[in-house]
Amino acid sequence: MTILLDSYNPAATASLPYREHEVIEEQKSQNQSPFIGADLDDAVYDQIAEILRKQQNFHLEGYKVLCIKRRLAARIRTVGSNEPEAYIELLKENLREQEQLMATLSIHVSQFFRNESVFQLLEKQVLPELQENSRRHSHKLRIWSVGCANGEEPYSIALLCQKHQQAEDLLSIVGTDLSPEALTRAKQGLFPAARVQNVSAEMLAECFVETGQQYQLLEEIRERVQFFRHDILADKPFYRANLILCRNLLIYFSRAQQQQIIETLATALLPGGYLVLGRAETLTSACRGLFECIDPAERIYRRVKMNEINQAD
């Protein structure tokens, strides 16, 4: 999942491709007070947001402004500037700096079977029901992982589906994220040991190949997941799905944008489909009538069918 950082993280930019003459060297200003988020006025903020939107298709709308201002100020300090207007001119002309700013704002945090109890419930209750319905009606089972980061979540679902898959099963798993770099890493399917620590020893031996201190997911598993760039705020629903996982993403948006996202996901869910949120997240009050709560602790909800909504009314 793509989330926003509280401060600049050099590791976040380490994997970005670059040409040496384009890199903005880090400098330290010793003669002026450090530039902080409170120094960034709304007009400057709007200009930076417009540059990212037009040139990188990266949208800041909906994120919490004060948090973003702090992170923007951190990047401005990193390039040795206390003048936001000068930074805007730099940002307009330098593609590499746009990429570095996006990397400063974004980090991708996940691991296989993160919050194991959620996946245990999905394996025991939700997926068997969806797989049985798919077989009974000869329909493809469609699963969408929103904000999939480096692919750990959709690959975890693929591994669970494989355990109980039958020859006739039709399955489509899609992972979407805002970051092209994260999606590139997801397609590679190569993970450090810390990311696979929740994978059982048996599954690790059967489905991964150890390469040094990393683990390569087998190609046959990687091929079951497709990855696409998608902005959950700006873009239309990716496709109609039986199961949508959108975990630990809503908490970074304002309440109004949370409602917009949940409405988008409700539209994307097929009748009777399931939505999984993060443990720190919940449905907005305006959207609660669209869902039945299946497990309050694990934040698993079922999309209510239209006739059930009418009966409730």
Q: Where are the domains of the chain?
A: 2-108, 116-312
The CATH number assigned to the domain with range 116-312 reads: 3.40.50.150
Assigned token pair, 167: 């020859």
- Alpha carbons 208 and 189: distance in angstroms, whole number: 10
- Tens-digit pLDDT profile for the chain (313 aa)? 544 444 334 444 344 443 333 444 444 444 456 667 667 888 888 999 999 888 877 777 766 777 778 888 888 888 887 788 889 999 999 988 887 887 677 656 689 999 999 999 999 999 999 999 999 999 999 999 999 989 999 999 999 999 988 888 999 999 999 888 889 999 999 999 999 999 999 999 999 999 988 999 999 999 999 999 998 888 888 789 999 999 988 877 888 889 999 999 999 999 999 999 998 899 988 899 999 999 999 999 999 976 554 444 4
For 59-86, b where at least 16 C-beta lie within 10 A, e where not — what string? bbebbebeebbbbbbbbbbbbebbebee
Closest CA to 297 of 121, 111, 112, 113: 121
pTM: 0.73
Burial 119-145 (b: 16+ CB within 10 A, else e): bebbbeebbeebbeebeeeeeebbbbb
Radius of gyration of the chain from its Cα atoms, rounded to whole angstroms: 21
| C-alpha torsion sign, points 73, 74, 79, 80 | positive
Q: How far apart are alpha carbons 182 and 179 in whole angstroms?
A: 5
